[in-house]
Amino acid sequence: MTSKLLLAIDTCGPTGSIALGQLVGGELHILGETTLGGQRPSETLVGSACEMLRMAGVQFVRLGAIIAVNGPGGFTGVRVGLAAVKGLVEPAKTPVVAVSRLEVLACKANVDSAALDAHRHEVFLRVGGGNGQATELLAGAAEFAALDKPPKRIAICEETAAELLQAAWPDVELIRVNAPTAADAIGLCAARVEAGEFVDLASLDGNYLRRSDAEIFGEADEAAAAAKEAAAARRKRVPPDAVIQVRPMREADLDEVVMIAASQRQAPFWPRESYRTALDPNATPRRIALVVEVSGKVAGLAVASLLPPQAELESMVVDTHYHRCGLARRLFEELTGRLRQAGVTEVILEVRASNQAALGLYRRLGFVQTGLRPGYYVNPPEPAEDAVLMRLGLKGS
């Protein structure tokens, strides 16, 4: 009798979870489930998955499939979960099933439609057609009004979503269930594993269903208020007594490094093995890889490849929790000191044309634009994007 082990990862909601199941002769058994507490699943996800498999006496290479709940939900949570999935499946090329959290919620309530709180007086809404077809969208007052035939029954797990739906559609029947978990995702997707309905890992992406902040905060006064609030919050992120240290990256840092980079849409995505190669002093090209710590916790990273007298800044990423706290500058100052010692007189880089935050930082650090590569970044189904080329001469080298 054939048996398959299934690992499910869901980091889309306020609380994430992972679950391990076993398919034996078409019958599913849940072997365990773990909740990822708090708002930062990157801190516990990989370790919790490893511990769950260890307790079950299972190695990653023995997994028959991984089930990835790919949204909708918080952007950071969705991307962290997908980055972990991509890193875990790489060694053994484990197949992946991707599933919407809305579909898992609808299935849990045994209905075709579901809604999740999207904040800002909106919901992530799944409208089922009763024939296996469904549409998912971000819905607010305009979308509620435009929908000719609201669903008769909608699964919910949050009262905030219930209030919005009841105000828009008083006659809708709300089916209240507990929030969907990774174990629920295994229950829904076990048949898809059996049928071989796997996704192409290269095209696996988040189901974000988000509007841009520019659309939401279009008015100048709202933007100014948001900026003031963000500035006040930043001042609290690094306490006055925090110890900030920049040091060489170590293999023990790799889980945190991968998660920090993966949590940001415009950061380059490197699998764990690429970062491990960056630590190898005998690799070609040789690289300098650094991390910045805040009171012992990795908060950012920088990697540069060396081809003296030139170096390329390949990645510099700071955890979103510490954006605009000066950590990127601390990282770069330490990096340039080490580059000078290696005989480097010029640093080059490329950055997405839309990444205005990074462009502004690099200009403040002294970089100047030297060119443009049209359509360099290709990530279907999104349109191709230009790469801005920049250069910085190192004085005193």
User: Which one from 103, 275, 350, 377 is the annotated catalytic residue?
Assistant: 350
Answer whether the bond into residue 381 is a cis peptide, omega within 30°. Answer: yes
CA 116 to chain centre: 19
Identify whether the C-beta of residue 64 lies closer than 8 Å to the C-beta of residue 200: no
Residue with the two structure tokens 């708090």: 38
Burial class (CB in 10 A: 0-12, 13-18, 19+), 261: buried
Query: Vertex 316, ends 315 and 319: CA angle to 5°?
Result: 125
Query: What is the Rg, in whole angstroms, of the alpha carbon atoms belonging to the chain?
Result: 23
Is 350 considered catalytic here? yes
Give dist(CA 318, CA 287) in Å, integer.
19
Give dist(CA 138, CA 149) in Å, integer.
17
Give dist(CA 109, CA 131) in Å, integer.
17
Distant-in-sequence, close-in-space partners of 352: CB < 8 Å, separation ≥ 6: 266, 358, 377, 385, 386, 387, 388
Catalytically annotated residues: 350, 362
